Structure 1
Amino acid sequence: MRAADADREAVADRLRVALSEGRLDLHEYDERLQRAYAARTYAELNALLTDLPPVTPAERSAVAPVDPAAPVSDGQPAPAGRGVTARWLAEVWLPYLQVIAVVVTIWAVTSLLSGDLLYFWPVWVAGPWGAVLVVRTVTGLTGGEPRRRAAERERQRQRRRAKRERRSELGSAEPDERDEPAG
């Protein structure tokens, strides 16, 4: 049977949950998400979820739900917080690593072209910026910033979902011009 847009959205939401739980990495999530929105049948959608456990409502779960905004206890994040922390660390450090890779590549190419090992000037880019990021990482992890950021992201996601639902309700409540008889 052919799938509807709502079915694709439900699968996309389940994939988002699997990503936040750490069951999917970002690359696999992206691939599955593209396949979900391109799916035409229920079989294609079901194939994207076969290796993922079903979602159990929090009230029926044997595991206590984890509040992403809850403080970290004893310096150890909750198991579900690992994915949140990893995502936050990637957001903080990835731009730095990308820029340093470009700068070191420029230094290496210029050294190679000059035939001499030039002064390693990328240290002046990497050093201060890296020191600032180390301080930010330590203060962010001790202050629970990854969980706060994840909670804010979830609130934004819920707002967008509610907005889409309101739009679809308003769209279905208004009569369509094509439904009225021509007069």
Structure 2
Amino acid sequence: MAQSPEMRASDVDRDKVAAVLREHTAEGRITMDEFNERLEQLYKSRTYGELARLTADLPDVDLRNRPAKITPQPVAKSTGMHPGMKAAWSAWAGASAINWVIWLIVSFTAEHFIYPWPLWVMGPWGAILLVSTIFGSGPQEKK
């Protein structure tokens, strides 16, 4: 039996229209304010005709066969280095640069040569990072 616009709608019919409105809101076709206004009208509606007016300006949505969400695949980095290792090298470079700046400032203000002590900070730390980079495991793939 065809549904005429004057026929009374049920709570199940209203829930279906509410789901369609939620989907259109999620897809950005209607704003939250519009959604709230239409939802308010939805639960005041009594007939199929009143329900149809709430979605008349929106395309049909098949809630049973929604397209699967596509998750973007991460792009492989050219270095192939683990992000944690990149962070460790960045920390080493930053700390080394700060130590060299301090050494330069102290050397210029002392007006004589000061032993390059930043080498003792850079050397062991850099050697450990280098060995970890060369012999450590590569990037781990998520399964």
- TM-score normalised by structure 1 residue count: 0.34
Rg larger in structure: 2
TM-score by length of 2: 0.42
